[in-house]
């Protein structure tokens, strides 16, 4: 399909207009939804050519774009969205949309890990902690397919270096989630990527950029990141109204998208037209939402950092020169995001649950997993999002029964502060 390409304007403008051409759809200002499963070929010859280009896009003649065939392979709403998404990640050359963040991650890892090796021996090295579902995939699913994954505590530079060097060219992929879910621990992307690329220049470096989005531009950090994955369910959607995922590849290695989309076709993990359409419209306010949510979260984090019933507050806005992550934050990020993680002074799970039950009672700060939406949420990682992570790994990552994760939305921050304050007053110290 020929989608609209804009040249010479800023990405702020392009994210609104790139991809969709009203002239191709009866003048509708925003794109229509194409819910159909299949597409008509004007001739048998055209059908043959459509399949040829779907599997060998490099055979396209100048100006020739692949035709639509079948909605598990591709559809207009996915194409329009992918063209827009490239605008929100500086340095991106191509994007692929998926039915969830996990399907983006799993499809991408499987497509790229053994690329060109003909073997199933390559290892994924991944940062601990990562989102519970990603951790489960690396630990439990990947080995059943012949793959191997090892964790690294990236804050331990010596150990990280030793482990990657000992793997040598066995390292097929470096997978980093920074800031990490839920601890917000930061990894120096460039430092670890350099070690991995030295051990194996063909190692694919992947960053999960779900948490910081517009505030962290992995393709612009040292030029060593090849792929970025997102749970688009979170900030990209922003309205808790859909599940979706995105993979982007760096301009200089954009041919990797073909392998990823090939596996997406086999798995059938492309996002459906309705979801793509919703996400296409949500992404137009992504920048504004993220900025405003971060501003509100900064105010709430400041309040939490002074509360007597809280042991520790983790939010990048609170980092000082005394913190290990301070320099990484200064170098790598342009804003703090709106996820805040706290540790209560009372270490018991019972106390944390009591706090959550009172806090979530009126559903202004709703007791629910997920994050990034305009409505604030709160959850208990040890028993919810990270319950699949082993107790030992949770201990290493400092996720305890007293750990609570907030996602701050667009409510007035003074209201949020008042609700949190009242919840503490009601439950008292024990
Ligand atoms: N990556 C991160 C950092 C996440 O927090 C999540 C979900 O919470 C995922 C990936 C998985 O995304 P999804 O739930 O859209 O499959």
Are the CB atoms for 312 and 342 separated by under 8 Å?
yes
Neighbouring CB atoms inside 10 A of 424's CB total 17
> What local confidence, expressed as pLDDT, does residue 291 receive?
98
Residue carrying structure tokens 């590849």: 249
Q: In the predicted model, what is the mean pLDDT of residues 23-50?
A: 95
Cα 302 to middle of ligand 1, angstroms: 27
Specify the CATH architecture of the domain 286-427: Alpha-Beta Complex (3.90)
- Say if residue 117's pLDDT is above 70: no
Distance, CA of 77 to CA of 135 (rounded, Å) = 31
Q: In the predicted model, what is the mean pLDDT of residues 19-24?
A: 88
Distance, CA of 78 to CA of 19 (rounded, Å) = 10
Long-range contacts of the stretch 418-425 (C-beta < 8 A, 24+)? 419/359, 419/362, 419/364, 419/365, 420/300, 420/303, 420/304, 420/307, 420/359, 420/365, 421/303, 421/307, 423/355, 423/358, 423/359, 424/307, 424/309, 424/355
- Say if residue 122's pLDDT is above 90: no
Q: Can you read off the two tokens belonging to residue 395?
A: 């201990």
Distance, CA of 149 to CA of 175 (rounded, Å) = 10
Q: Give the CA distances from residue 423 to residues 271, 342, 365, 398, in Å, rounded to whole numbers and listed in that order.
A: 39, 15, 11, 24
Q: Which atom of ligand 1 is nearest to the CA of 133?
A: 11
Domain boundaries, the chain: 286-427
% of the chain with per-residue pLDDT over 90: 87
Residue nearest to atom 12 of ligand 1 (CA): 101
> What local confidence, expressed as pLDDT, does residue 19 receive?
86
When pLDDT is cut at 50, 70 and 90, the band that residue 221 belongs to is very high
Who contacts 161 (Cβ-Cβ below 8 Å, separation ≥6)? 195
Q: Is 243 in the pocket of ligand 1 (CB under 6 A)?
A: yes
Q: Can you read off the two tokens belonging to residue 212?
A: 């910081």
Distance, CA of 252 to CA of 332 (rounded, Å) = 21
Q: Which atom of ligand 1 is nearest to the CA of 244?
A: 15
> What 3-state class would DSSP assign to 64?
coil
Residue nearest to atom 5 of ligand 1 (CA): 131
Residue nearest to atom 11 of ligand 1 (CA): 101
Q: Are strands 171-177 and 204-208 parallel, antiparallel or unpaired?
A: parallel
> What local confidence, expressed as pLDDT, does residue 388 receive?
87
Where in 315-418 does DSSP place strands (E)? 339-344, 366-367, 377-379, 403-407
Q: In the predicted model, what is the mean pLDDT of residues 354-361?
A: 97
Interval 310-322: pLDDT, tens: 999 999 999 999 9
Q: In the predicted model, what is the mean pLDDT of residues 388-394?
A: 89
- Say if residue 333's pLDDT is above 70: yes
The pick from 97, 106, 131, 338 for probing ligand 1's pocket by mutation, whose C-beta has the most ligand atoms within 8 angstroms, reads 131
Q: In the predicted model, what is the mean pLDDT of residues 206-232?
A: 97
Mean pLDDT across the chain, nearest whole number? 94
Cα 344 to middle of ligand 1, angstroms: 25
When pLDDT is cut at 50, 70 and 90, the band that residue 37 belongs to is very high
Q: Which atom of ligand 1 is nearest to the CA of 105?
A: 10
> What local confidence, expressed as pLDDT, does residue 143 receive?
94
- Say if residue 120's pLDDT is above 70: no
Dihedral through CA 43, CA 48, CA 54, CA 60, nearest 10? -80
- Say if residue 103's pLDDT is above 70: yes
Are the CB atoms for 187 and 154 separated by under 8 Å?
yes
Cα 109 to middle of ligand 1, angstroms: 15
Interval 177-217: pLDDT, tens: 999 999 999 999 999 999 999 999 999 999 999 999 999 99
When pLDDT is cut at 50, 70 and 90, the band that residue 12 belongs to is confident
Q: In the predicted model, what is the mean pLDDT of residues 120-147?
A: 91
Long-range contacts of the stretch 421-426 (C-beta < 8 A, 24+)? 421/303, 421/307, 423/355, 423/358, 423/359, 424/307, 424/309, 424/355, 426/358
Q: Is 178 in the pocket of ligand 1 (CB under 6 A)?
A: no
Smallest CA-to-CA distance from 84 within 314, 270, 267, 277 is with 277
Q: Is 373 in the pocket of ligand 1 (CB under 6 A)?
A: no
Residue 349's H or E segment, with its range, is helix 349-359
- Say if residue 1's pLDDT is above 80: no
Interval 143-166: pLDDT, tens: 999 899 999 999 899 999 999 999
Smallest CA-to-CA distance from 52 within 69, 40, 39 is with 69
Distance, CA of 148 to CA of 142 (rounded, Å) = 6
Q: In the predicted model, what is the mean pLDDT of residues 223-240?
A: 97
Residue nearest to atom 2 of ligand 1 (CA): 131
Q: Is 217 in the pocket of ligand 1 (CB under 6 A)?
A: no
Query: Picking from 7-11, 229-233, 371-375, which range would have the lowest pLDDT averaged per residue?
Result: 7-11
Quickly list H helices, 170-237: 189-199
Measured in whole angstroms, the distance separating CA 270 from the mean position of its chain's CA atoms is 16
């Amino acid at each position: 399909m020929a989608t609209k390409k804009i040249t010479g304007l800023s990405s702020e403008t392009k994210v609104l207009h790139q991809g969709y051409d009203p002239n191709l759809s009866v003048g509708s200002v925003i794109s229509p939804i194409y819910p159909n499963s299949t597409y008509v070929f004007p001739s048998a010859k055209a059908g043959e050519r459509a399949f040829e280009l779907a599997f060998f896009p490099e055979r396209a003649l100048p100006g020739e774009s692949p035709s639509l065939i079948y909605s598990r392979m591709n559809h207009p709403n996915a194409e329009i969205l992918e063209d827009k998404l490239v605008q929100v990640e500086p340095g991106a050359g191509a994007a692929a949309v998926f039915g969830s963040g996990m399907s983006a991650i799993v499809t991408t890892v499987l497509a790229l890990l053994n690329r060109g090796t003909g073997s199933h021996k390559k290892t994924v090295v991944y940062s601990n902690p990562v989102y519970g579902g990603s951790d489960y995939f690396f630990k439990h699913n990947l080995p059943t397919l012949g793959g191997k994954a090892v964790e690294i505590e990236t804050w331990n530079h010596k150990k990280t270096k030793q482990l990657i060097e000992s793997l040598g060219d066995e390292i097929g992929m470096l997978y980093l989630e920074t800031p990490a879910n839920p601890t917000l621990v930061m990894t120096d992307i460039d430092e670890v990527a350099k070690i991995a690329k030295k051990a194996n220049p063909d190692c694919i470096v992947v960053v999960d950029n779900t948490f910081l989005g517009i505030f962290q531009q992995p393709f612009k950090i040292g030029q060593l990141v090849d792929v970025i994955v997102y749970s688009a369910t979170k900030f990209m959607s922003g309205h808790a109204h859909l599940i979706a995922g995105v993979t982007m590849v760096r301009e200089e290695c954009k041919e990797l998208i073909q392998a990823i989309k090939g596996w997406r076709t086999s798995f059938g993990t492309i996002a459906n037209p309705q979801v793509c359409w919703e996400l296409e419209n949500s992404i137009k306010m992504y920048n504004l939402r993220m900025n405003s949510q971060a501003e509100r979260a900064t105010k709430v984090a400041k309040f939490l950092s002074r509360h007597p019933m809280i042991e520790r507050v983790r939010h990048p806005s609170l980092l000082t020169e005394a913190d290990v992550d301070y320099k990484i934050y200064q170098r790598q990020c342009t804003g703090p995001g709106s996820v805040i993680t706290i540790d209560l002074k009372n270490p018991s799970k019972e106390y944390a649950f009591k706090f959550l039950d009172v806090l979530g009672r009126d559903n202004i700060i709703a007791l629910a997993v997920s994050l990034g939406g305009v409505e604030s949420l709160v959850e208990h990682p040890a028993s919810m999002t990270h319950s699949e992570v082993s107790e030992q790994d949770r201990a290493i990552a400092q996720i305890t029964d007293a750990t609570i994760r907030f996602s701050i939305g667009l409510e007035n921050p003074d209201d949020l502060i008042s609700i949190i304050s009242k919840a503490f007053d009601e439950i008292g110290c024990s």
